[in-house]
Amino acid sequence: MGERRRVSSWFDILAAGGWTPVSLRLLPDHRANVVDVVTQVPGLVPAHLVPEALAWSARSATAALRQIRPDLVVFVSARAFHLRLLEGPWQAVLDYVDVLSQNYSDRASVSERWSRRALYRGVAAGAKRFESGAHPGVVAVAAGWNDAQRLGADWVPIVVDARTVSRATAAPADMVFVGTLSYLPNIIAVERLARLWPLLRARRPAASAVIAGARPSAAMQSTANRLGWQVIPDFNDLGQVLGLARVAIAPLVHATGIQIKVLDAAAHGLPQVVDAVAMAGLDPDFPAVVTRSDEEFVDELVKLLADPDEMTAAGSRGQEHIREHYAAKGWGEWLNLRLEPVSP
């Protein structure tokens, strides 16, 4: 989901800047054969590519680019980058998206299977070599604020549209958490919420929650049933889901890149209580209640839910911040300025 949103975000930015975007799917349209893999493996040693780039054919992708004849190529993540694809009359943007090595290291630290931990550590090492190398001839960007600082890249967030909605403080549920429910960091976040639930109920006896996202496990559904949460496993209208609650939460323990769930909630006018790790990808002035411990998370959430006026004001601040800093138009203008003197 995150990768699809990043690609969609680039389409919006390019269109806002006056470009006509076209996607080139590396998998499955340009899957590597044995010859491709053999010829591309040497690029791993000088850190010209990450191990995952061996899965697609740079030869085939370059031929496709020469047919398209673009003015600009945006490589969405290091996994889509190869030096050979720079061999053309186009400009290039290397979008790291996030610090991929950290992403894999975090997955290794929480994975229960030793084979999966070993795999993640291996690809993390390859990603770290790539991130530490020089990549001349490209404009380097990242979606997360802190990630951009670490990588020496420009910050280009995922863009969203602020919705013209007015949030009712009398929504049926207190809080909502949205995310792919089979994704390990989200699983851990839901488990944390379950652990904190007795503390929340002690402070707010009628506390209620909505957990929404794809592929919740049977164990998660069982936990939700026991605690009285509403689980929405599949939905077509995010606004409708967010409209079920007064406050959006992000009790994440592990997070990399930019948290789309936080952007979406702000765009829909929901006040938010989030853990500090969820804020690392957002600009320092992003309006949300940020907490750094279990006790602080519970305290701030209960406090916000008891203050309807502040909930309304916080939701409005989030929407206004989205309009000012995360709109496609502004980033389309930035792109054209960054790529001068070439114009589309």
pTM comes to 0.92
pLDDT at 43: 87
Residue that wins the pLDDT comparison between 340 and 74: 74
How does the average pLDDT of the chain come out, rounded?
93
Instruction: Check residue 75 and give left, alpha or beta (phi > 0: left; psi -120 to 50: alpha).
Output: beta
Q: Tell me the pLDDT band of 163, cut-offs 50, 70 and 90.
A: confident
**pLDDT (average), residues 127-150:** 94
* Predicted confidence (pLDDT) per residue in 273-332, tens digit: 999 999 989 999 999 999 999 999 999 999 999 999 999 999 999 999 999 999 999 999
pLDDT at 134: 87
Q: DSSP assignment, residue 42?
A: G
How far apart CA 76 and CA 95 sit, in angstroms, is 5
pLDDT at 340: 65
Give me the residue spans of the domains in the chain.
2-158+327-338, 173-325
Helix (H) or strand (E) holding 307: none
CA angle 113, 119, 122 (to 5 degrees): 140
Distance set, CA 261 to CA 42, 73, 195, 266, 289 (Å): 39, 28, 21, 9, 15
In this model, does residue 269 exceed pLDDT 70?
Answer: yes
* Predicted confidence (pLDDT) per residue in 16-40, tens digit: 999 999 999 999 899 999 999 999 9
CATH architecture of 173-325: 3-Layer(aba) Sandwich (3.40)
